[in-house]
Structure formats: C-alpha cells, structure tokens
Amino acid sequence: MKSESLAILALIALISTGFQAEAQDDWANIGRYRKANSEMSARPKAVFLGDSITDCWYDADPAFFNDNNFACRGISGQTTSHMLVRMRKDVVNLAPRYVVILAGTNDIARNNGRIELEDIFCNIVSMCEIAKANGIRPVICSVLPVKQYRWRPEVTDCAEQIIRLNSMLRDYARKNRFRYVDYHSAMKDAENGLPAKWSYDGVHLNIDGYKVAEAIILEALKR
C-alpha cells in the first residue's frame, strides 16, 4: 500500500512538472487563441484584449461579441506584460478597426510580482503604439474599481493605485486623441470598490456588471 501511494505521488509530481514546463514554454499563452485566430474568416470590428474580466465576458454574454463582430482575446490571470507579448498574434494579425485594452488590475494585484505603476502604464502605452503603427485605433479602458484582492490581501492600497493608474491612462489618451472608456467612474461605490450588485467577488463582473460595461463600450465605439 505504501509503495502504491508513493507511486501515485510520483505520478502526480511528474504530471505537475509537465504542466509547469508547458506553461514556461508559452509564458504569455500565445497558443490559447492560435486555432481561433487561424479560423477567422472576416476582419473583426474590435479585438477586446485583456485578462479574466475580458476572458469571462465572452462566457457570460457571447452574443455581445458575436452580434457586434467583436473578437474576445482575454486570458485569465494575465498582466500587461503578457498582453504586450500577445499584441501581434492576437491583435495586429487580425487587423481590427479597434483594439479595446482593459488591463492593469493583475499587475496591481502582483500576479507576476511587484511592478511600478509607471511600468504598467508604459506597457499599455506600448500596446497603443503598436496598434497605431499598424492602422488600429486603440481604445483605452480604465481599470475597474477594486477595494481588495481576495487572493492578495497584502495589497492594501489597490483602490488608490487604480485611481492613479487610471489618471495616467486618461491623460495619455487625451494627449494622443485616443478614446478613453471610463468604467471606473460609472461603476465605483463610495469606497472606490466594485458594488456587490455588479460583482461576485469585488473584482470580476457578474452578468449585470457586464451589461453596464457593454452599454458604456458600445457608446464609446459609436463616436
């Protein structure tokens, strides 16, 4: 019995090591949308680039993307560094009219380690520059309000950091005449967090939250 248990543990360890090696081989998960990208038959109006908030958006309301000719290219857990690496394969090569960038919350949550706000900002600026250089119009979204990351309780000033980053993004968008989509002002509560009516964990949106976001972004893309 003991030898069988050891064998099972060894097998689990081997499988785990294999998964880790695979993840390291594709750090930015560029392969996630490889098949979907290759099967696209028409140029999308907009590519939505982001993290789990964008990733789960399609699952929550696929009709929003399908009916509006939008392509969802969100990947859960990703930071701006991951998204910057994915720009060519998941955005530029699809030749959309717009790229809707909703990014930064996982950087502030330290998903990939500590990073300065200036460096988060610079990653998003780089995404915009790549888009513009390829004839794609950047649409910069504010980071959604968060009072606390449940998986990162040691980050106690996330609400303040998000406000500072959003201010940087808004000023950059105005200076460069890019569209800025202010989800934060429309969805924050009195403590600069995300209200329970629009979220199930204070970070991610529920279907009602997505409906609010949809109305905001559709109006922005009309202008």
pLDDT digits (tens, 9 = 90+) for 168-201: 999 999 999 999 999 999 999 999 999 999 999 9
Q: pTM of the prediction?
A: 0.88
Residue 211: pLDDT over 70 = yes
pLDDT at 149 over 80: yes
C-alpha 164, offset from chain centre:
18
User: Under CATH, domain 36-222 is a member of which superfamily?
Assistant: SGNH hydrolase (3.40.50.1110)
Rounded Cα distance, 154 and 157, in Å: 9
Q: What is the mean pLDDT of residues 57-68?
A: 98
64 φ, ψ (degrees, to nearest 5): -60, -40
Domain ranges of the chain: 36-222
pLDDT band at 25; cut points 50, 70, 90: confident
What percent of the chain is predicted at pLDDT more than 70? 89
Instruction: State the chain's mean pLDDT as an integer.
Output: 90
Residues shown for the chain: 223
**Backbone φ and ψ of 71, nearest 5°:** -110, 125
Q: With contact defined as beta carbons under 8 Å apart, do 52 and 74 qualify?
A: yes
Q: In 3D, which of 59, 60, 141 has the Cα closest to residue 98?
A: 141
Tell me what pLDDT residue 9 has: 34
CA distance to 10, 123, 128, 221, per residue, from 139 (Å):
48, 14, 8, 8
- In tens, the pLDDT along 63-107 reads 999 999 999 999 999 999 999 999 999 999 999 999 999 999 999
Alpha carbons 137 and 140: distance in angstroms, whole number: 10
